[in-house]
Structure 1
Amino acid sequence: MTPRLRSAQWYGGDDRDGYIHRAWMRRGLPSDAFSGRRPHIAIANTASDLTPCNAHLKEVASSVRDGVHEAGGIPLDLPVVSLGETLLRPTAMLWRNMAAMATEEMLRGNPVDGVVLLGGCDKTIPSLLMAAASVDLPAVVVPGGPMLTGTFRGKALGCGTDVWRLSEEVRGGTLSREDFIRSESAMIRSKGHCNTMGTASTMGLLAEALGTVVPGVAGTPAPDSRLLESAHATGKLAVDLVHEERTPSTLLTRGSFRNAIVALAAIGGSTNAVVHLLAIAGRLGIELTLDDFDRIGSRVPLLVDLQPAGRFLMDDLHRAGGLLAVLREVRDLLDPGALTVTGRPLVEHLDDARIWDPEVIRDRTAPLRDAAGIAVLRGNLAPDGALIKPAAASPHLLRHRGRAVVFDSIEDFHARIDAPDLDVDADSVLVLRGCGPKGYPGMPEVSNMPLPKKLLASGVRDMVRVCDGRMSGTAYGTVVLHVAPEAAAGGPLALVRTGDVIELDVAARSLRLDVPDAELAARIPDSATTEGYASPTRGWERLYVDHVTQADTGADLDFLLGATGPVVGRESH
């Protein structure tokens, strides 16, 4: 039996309100669109020319529309807030929660019965999933997919990863600035998001591991015609989700997040996924902690040989078998009962998966690394936790002791890092603070600090770095990040002084400042430190700083935790 459609609350009846709702929507819709039998499906689309990785979602939306029509639904375009990682200042993360809140309210406030979520660039899929979790309407994701691989001088370019690598070569004097600029036109070969295992690729794949994408779709390259075929099928499925009352709260469980954590480790995914998964779980009221990422994922083998942890790129992963082939290798670690939007458990979709290129996707018996999941560090420098991605780090630095060289802000860092008289050597630990959710604000991707120019010139290519900000998923290096509490929230990172000794021991999950407890307790932050913190007086930044939580709980706004459902409390007229 088909449930009563939510949209019928707007379009049913012969009173004035029903008249107004129907009359204003009669711009090409047939009369039976208001019969209460055809689900109204919003297509929440983050396409924007200012989010270049998502611009092609206009074409994807057309295929979704066709699928919704074929299944008897009414497709409705719903442009939503779009966050372009490469252009938006000061950082796209500042607006992830705003985008989620705006999408949630547009879904709740409009006469829609279900939604297809179109995202790609880093923050768009997380914000859409946070919104869907909060409003709890039937929802399914179509990831926009990665771009094709470009080449420069006959070698493949990993967008993002090779930007960092080539720019460091320029600073180190091994690549001319002219050749660096010449590579620019080859970096972005086609539509789609970054082709490395950065945040965009990671979140598309993890949306599938969570069960919110039709299995087998995530990772399909943006120019691949099969993406449009899948978008059409997803539009049809969205109508079924409404008829079957299959909502995020009926699909997403702790087991779903377990599967996402296992997938995150096996693919060598971005550390940004941690803060996004924590935020999505928080919207659902599912208890998920940093310790779950270490407990579940840290010993999962790395099976995908992709940049920045490996050699290949996303279109290689797709041709090699994709996410399902990876998950088949770690099937025993997955939750067997966690469902997908198809109504079937994720593990049931793995039977036919195969590895077609064992160089790209490793067999479980021959992993790229035996245990390379994200590690959670604790100690007197990170009482509430910090993260490190061993797969992207230098093995010889995973246990390290060195003198801190402290920077109070990203501006301070840029002003001094290349100074010839900077007291720094290869064993030093670079510390950057004031970059957390409150301090910047927005927790920017600055933790993978460029190395001092004089050390690059001497051949140094990695150092231990510690920061309360984030790191691009396309970046690499021995970077300790998401330090919580952040300096601006009273964390001990604010008390570190240049010359203090920092001890990192990833195997022991430890990050310590070698300063006596009594001395540390007596310290107060320098004025240069506190003056670097954000202090907005109005608008979204003020609301954000006043209410954002710390990285270890997802950096969401405290008043947005927990789902509130699809009910609209008041009549519109």
Structure 2
Amino acid sequence: MATGLRKGLTSYGDAGFSLFLRKAFIKAMGYSDDALARPIVGITDTFSDYNPCHGNVPDLIDAVKRGVMLAGALPMVFPTISIGESFAHPTSMFLRNLMSMDTEEMIRAQPMDAAVVIGGCDKTIPAQLMAAASADLPTVVVQTGPMVVGHHKGEVLGACTDCRRLWGQHRADKIGEAEIEQISGRLAPSVGTCMVMGTASTMACIVEALGLALPMSAAAPATHADRRRIAEASGRRAAEMAVSGGPIPSQLITPASLRNAMVVLQAIGGSTNGLIHLTAIAGRAGVKLDMDEFDRLGREIPTLLNLKPSGAHYMEHFHHAGGLPALMRELKLHLDLSTPNVAGGTLGDAIEAAEDVPGQQVIYSFAEPLKAQGAMAVLQGNLAPLGAVIKQSAASPELMTHTGRAVVFDSVEDLTNRIDDPDLDVKADDILVLRNAGPKGAPGMPEAGYLPIPMKLARAGVKDMVRISDARMSGTAFGTIVLHIAPEASVGGPLAWVQSGDQIMLDVPRRRLELLVDEAEFSRRRAAWETTPRRELPRRGYARLYETAVLQADEGCDFDFLRRNGQDGTTD
């Protein structure tokens, strides 16, 4: 098997000439024959001026390169797409699959014996994990790490849970224009990802739990020396894997490691987005994620991590409390400790090495958890034939069983235009419904599921309402919010048939979401929808590819042709 510079030669019909030409041109960069004879570790460069979450990537690249060279291999940096959450139109989720394809193809196209992928902002690590699972080359993930906390008037702040809370106060006229502008300069005081348990932090934990990142890598702050030491150690380990040939992602992303990741996702109060991404990653590995098991784990595994939005603290506090290995120590009886990791050991080894931090208040014990159940529950019912999800750890307990009148918004634009209309017919015990905001309907499944409280209710002191949609929401958000309703309204899901004034029942303990109309009326509305004209597909480019190939939320919103061995996700 070819390695190093001889790997994946460009086809000119003469292999000797291909290698000669490759060497001739790369020597223009000043490489010596000694350097070019070594194993090659490819390193992704996802730095972008549009992506402050990746602001430390140049420093991390330097540290990874140092580790690679200390181990005697040759580092080669190459660029890929970078996705910054708040700068991506129409949504970062729309571009996740494109980034995964770009990363996979660049790993395949260029000679490398192992890869280090550096990512952080919400959709980058999922895209990179999907790519790694497909390319199946020895790969180490380096997370960019969370930013440090902010401060305002003596209060500790965290992007973006406190962004939403304080913006809600601004909408309710409790914070003025001058102060909210001042707050905008204090919420994100350094480069790095959101420092709460949002999607970026969730995926940082998931990749460590899966074994594709080094132990203790999930929570180290972006600006700390620990983050650079993790990057150096990752480069060194990637160089060793380039020589040994493994472990490869298909040996790490297995039913056992995916179940471990589901346990961790429930225990950390993780983002609902994490479930979509984990489903997509599993599909790339040829494994179908069991949603019934995930829901069962939500009943059995309590929330142990006292981080916003489910708790009170921030990622840097989690790191100083012992990080993910210390949390997994509380979950030992529910994890497969034999699963391997890129460090060369097992999950059990990482847990045994976990630090014991006396007096820490971030990681709760299994016997005395932060919350009795895990982060998420999977709902079923006539409104969600393929399922929906609620982040119960960040919801209002009094709304977990609720029946109310539907107030329907047909699109994100409709929501924007009417939510603050003083004449909107809405009461605090109603249920806000947003549709046509799913993978195809929006397109790109925006984080619009965190429907704002109508202004007239916010000003009256209402802080939470039941909200349901086929959209996503940020992992930093809180509230009693049902998401990822599948199938989405734009492809004929029952959410398309809801009318304002209908009664909807949410019963989280029973895992039910029901539209309370009789079957005859249900059938009449279905038939009426089926005769409604459809909007045209985009005519060209990635937008057309996306809408013709994207799957529903229950299948991870990946493209049907990218899952392992075709559309059914099966293995040989």
Structure-to-structure mapping, 1:328-347, within 5 angstroms: 328-347=329-348
- What amino acid is the match of 1:403? R
Alignment of 1:152-191 (within 5 A): 152-191=152-191
Q: What CA deviation, in whole Å up to 9, does each residue of 1:331-354 have, x standing for no partner?
A: 111112211112321122112322
| Other-structure match for 2:492 | 490
Among 370, 373, 376, the residue aligned to 2:372: 370
* Secondary structure of the corresponding residue to residue 15 of structure 1: helix
Q: Which residue does 2:150 correspond to in 1? A: 150
The alpha-carbon deviation at position 45 of structure 1 amounts to: 2.2
Amino acid at match of 2:226: R
Whether the 8 Å CA contact 1:278–1:289 is kept in 2: the answer is no
Give CA-to-partner distance per residue, 1:358-391, whole Å, 9 cap, x none: 3211122221101123100000000000000110
CA shift, 1:534, in A, is 7.6
Could you state the TM-score of these two structures normalised by the residue count of structure 2?
Answer: 0.95
- Choose the corresponding residue for 1:434, options 433, 436, 452: 436
Against the structure 1 CA distance between its residues 498 and 220, is the aligned structure 2 distance closer, same or farther, given a 3 Å change threshold?
Answer: same
Once the two structures are superposed, residues 204-252 of structure 1 have per-residue CA deviations (whole angstroms, 9 ceiling, x without a partner) of 1110011000111211000111111111111010011122221101222
1:570 aligns with none
- CA, structure 1 residues 417+532, in 2 after alignment: closer, same or farther (shift >3 Å)? farther
The residue correspondences of 1:499-514 to structure 2 (distance < 5 A) are 499-514=501-516
The answer for the alignment partner of 1:51 in structure 2 is 51
What is residue 228 of structure 2 aligned with on the other side? 228
CA apart distance, 1:11: 6.8
Distance 1:544 1:14, change over 3 A: closer
- 2:285 matched to which residue of 1? 284
Distance 1:534 1:331 in 2: 51
Q: CA deviation digits over 1:496-540, x for unaligned, max 9?
A: 00011100000101000001122111114888x978968422111
Taking structure 1 as the reference length, the TM-score comes to 0.95
The residue aligned with 1:388 is: 390
User: Structure 1 residues 496, 449: CA separation in 2 closer, same or farther (over 3 Å shift)?
Assistant: same
Moved more, 90-99 or 364-373: 364-373
Judge conservation of contact 2:268–2:375 (CA < 8 Å) in 1: no
Q: Does 1:63 align with 2:59?
A: no
Unaligned runs of 5+ in 2: 567-572
Residues in 2 aligned to 1:193 and 1:98: alpha-carbon distance in whole angstroms: 21
Distance 2:463 2:268 in 1: 24
Give the Cα–Cα distance (whole angstroms) in 2 for the partners of residues 344 and 316 of structure 1.
26
CA spacing shift, 1:222–1:410, aligned 2, 3 Å: same
Residue 9 in structure 1 maps to residue 7 in structure 2: yes
Letter in 2 for 1:158: G
Question: 2:61 aligns to what SS in structure 1?
Answer: helix
| Partners of 1:207 and 1:525 in 2: CA distance | 44
Letter matched to residue 81 of structure 1: I
1:52-131 paired onto structure 2 within 5 Å? 52-131=52-131
User: Secondary structure, in 3 states, of the residue corresponding to 1:64?
Assistant: helix
Greater shift in the superposed pair: 20-29 or 534-543 = 534-543
Amino acid in structure 2 at the alignment position of 1:196: V
**3-state SS of paired residue (2:308):** coil
Q: Which secondary structure state, in structure 2, belongs to the residue aligned with residue 86 of structure 1?
A: helix
8 Å CA contact retained: 1:281, 1:287: yes
- 1:411-462 deviation digits (Å, cap 9, x = unpaired): 1011111111211111100000011001011100000100111111111100
Aligned to 2:25: 24
SS of the equivalent of 2:31 reads: coil
Amino acid paired to 1:555: C
Q: Aligned ranges for residues 413-492 of structure 1 at < 5 Å?
A: 413-492=415-494
Letter in 2 for 1:317: F
2:324 is matched with 323
Structure 1 stretches of 5 or more lacking a match?
565-573
Describe the shift of the 1:525–1:75 C-alpha distance in structure 2 as closer, same or farther (beyond 3 A).
farther
After superposing the two structures, state which structure 1 stretch, 358-367 or 234-243, moved more. 358-367
The answer to whether the 8 A contact 1:7-1:113 is kept is no
CA distance in 2 between partners of 1:152 and 1:396 (Å): 31
What is the alpha-carbon distance in structure 2 between the residues aligned to residue 510 and residue 457 of structure 1? 31
Tell me, yes or no, if the aligned pair for 2:6 and 2:19 is still in contact at 8 Å: no
The number of equivalent residue pairs is: 560
1:159–1:196 contact (8 Å) kept in structure 2: yes
Checking the alignment, whether the CA contact within 8 Å between 1:321 and 1:356 is kept in structure 2 is: no
Shift of 1:6: 5.7
CA shift, 1:356, in A, is 4.0
Partner SS, residue 483 of structure 1: coil
Counterpart-to-counterpart distance in 2, 1:409 and 1:157:
32
Describe the SS at the equivalent of 2:53: helix
Note closer, same or farther for the CA distance 1:387–1:355 as it changes in structure 2 (3 Å cut).
farther
DSSP-derived class of the 2:402 partner: strand
Distance in 2 between residues matched to 1:463 and 1:534, nearest whole Å: 34
**Contact in 2 for aligned 1:261/1:297 (Cα 8 Å):** no
Structure-2 change in CA distance of 1:226 and 1:533 (3 Å):
farther
Tell me the distance in 2 between the aligned counterparts of 1:174 and 1:9: 62
In the alignment, the residues of structure 2 paired with residue 204 and residue 52 of structure 1 have an alpha-carbon distance, to the nearest angstrom, of: 17
Q: Deviations over 1:51-81 (max 9, x none)?
A: 1110211110011001111111110011111
Q: 1:530 to 1:22 in 2, by over 3 A?
A: farther
Supply the distance in 1 between the matched residues of 2:123 and 2:407 (Cα, whole angstroms): 31
Distance 1:208 1:278 in 2: 16
**Which segment drifts farther, 107-116 or 11-20?**
11-20
Q: Which moved more, 1:409-418 or 1:171-180?
A: 171-180
Q: Take 2:220 and 2:532, find their aligned partners in 1: how far apart are those partners? A: 46
CA spacing shift, 1:488–1:530, aligned 2, 3 Å: farther
Q: For 1:167-205, what per-residue CA distance to the aligned partner results, in whole angstroms no more than 9, with x for missing partners?
A: 111111222122111111111111211111100111011
**Corresponding residue SS for 1:235:** helix
State the alpha-carbon separation in 1 of the partners of residues 329 and 285 from structure 2: 27
AA partner of residue 281 (structure 1): A
CA distance in 1 between counterparts of 2:369 and 2:527 reads 45
| Letter paired with 1:426 | A
Secondary structure of the residue that 1:117 maps to in structure 2?
strand
Residue 569 of structure 2: aligned partner? none
For residues 66 and 489 of structure 1, the distance between their equivalents in structure 2, rounded to whole angstroms, comes to 50
Q: Which residue of 1 aligns with 2:570?
A: none
Aligned to 1:135: 135
Q: Which residue of 2 aligns with 1:255?
A: 256
The CA distance in 1 between the partners of 2:206 and 2:185, in whole Å, is 30
Per-residue CA deviation, residues 127-168 of structure 1 (Å, 9 max, x unaligned), is 001001001000010100000011000101111111111111
Tell me if the contact between 2:297 and 2:374 (Cα under 8 Å) persists in the aligned partners.
no
User: Which residue is equivalent to 1:539?
Assistant: 541
Q: Is 1:408 matched with 2:410?
A: yes
Which shifted more, 204-213 or 3-12?
A: 3-12
Identity of aligned residues (%): 46
Question: Aligned pair in 2 of structure 1 residues 351, 519: CA closer, same or farther (>3 Å)?
Answer: same
- Quick one: structure 1 residues 51 and 356, their matched pair in 2 at CA, closer, same or farther if it must change by over 3 Å? farther
Letter in 1 for 2:189: R
1:563 positional shift: 6.5
SS in 2 for 1:127: helix
Distance 2:58 2:520 in 1: 59
The offset of 1:488, in angstroms, is 0.9
Partner Cα separation in structure 1 for residue 170 and residue 482 of structure 2: 25
Q: Give, in whole Å, the separation in 1 of the partners of 2:550 and 2:135.
A: 20
Mapped to 2, the partners of 1:180 and 1:23 lie a distance apart of: 57
SS, match of residue 444 in structure 1:
coil
2 CA distance for matches of 1:526 and 1:157?
Answer: 49
